[in-house]
Amino acid sequence: MPTLQVRNLPEHIYRKIVERAKAKRRSIAQETVYLLEKSLETDSHRQEHTSILIDKMLANPPETGEQLPDPVQLLREDRDR
């Protein structure tokens, strides 16, 4: 099994991992692997979900017949507030 070494890990992140590991009764290594797996699954799921939503939006454009507002103009108005 491969080994991963992390250098310059911020102290606050390490403490959070240690706290979570204790709460879940896991070793620090087990908790780190668990967190990495969950993060990668979530990221992959989010990308898949976003792709599906974009496909749906492109397949079914709004039928209002109205022109959508210019995003640049909306940003300018928002900045001027």
Instruction: State which residues form the domain around 54.
Output: 1-62
At residue 54, does pLDDT exceed 90?
no
In a domain, 9, yes or no: yes
Residue type present at position 4: L
- Residue 14's nearest CA partner among 34, 29, 26 is 29
**Average pLDDT over every residue of 61-70:** 73
Q: How many domains does the chain have?
A: 1
Report residue 2 as tokens: 């491969």
- Identify whether 35 is part of a domain: yes
The whole-model pTM stands at: 0.57
70 lies in a domain? Answer: no
- The average confidence (pLDDT) of the chain is 88
Share of the chain above pLDDT 70, in %: 95
Dist CA 79 CA 70 (whole Å): 15
Residue 76 in domain: no
